[in-house]
Amino acid sequence: MTREVFYTDQAPAPVGPYSQAIAASGRMLFVSGQIALEPGTGAMVGGDDVEAQTHQVLSNLKAVLAAAGASFADVVRTTVFLADMEDFARVNAIYATVFDEATAPARACVQAARLPKDAKVEIDCIAVLP
């Protein structure tokens, strides 16, 4: 896989752990949106705690990536869906623990009217397989 991060001062600087743009080549992996379901039981983790849910979502993404032979380092794009944009800073802080700001994927973050199973956060991603 080849991966190159692009930044320009002619567009707004990122306001979090994401890149303005990434060029990548290789076999693409499109990972469906993950919510805070515990793999063994299918039960929602964290209740109304968006931070606990975010940790589980990232754990689920990590597991799917690993099943394909990839890791967070191979992710080039994410979409973060929040039930409440007021949770942005808390989710962003946890998100930053798995994506290094210098090489973080491109990202969009939106507030959704409602997420599956009334989740507080859902994240999907695109990775390039090594």
Spell out the residues 6+ positions from residue 77 whose beta carbon is closer than 8 angstroms to its own.
Answer: 22, 105, 106, 107, 125, 126
Active centre residues (catalytic) = 109
**Cα Rg of the chain (Å, integer):** 14
Q: Taking Cα atoms as reference points, which of 111, 51, 105, 33 lies closest to residue 75?
A: 105
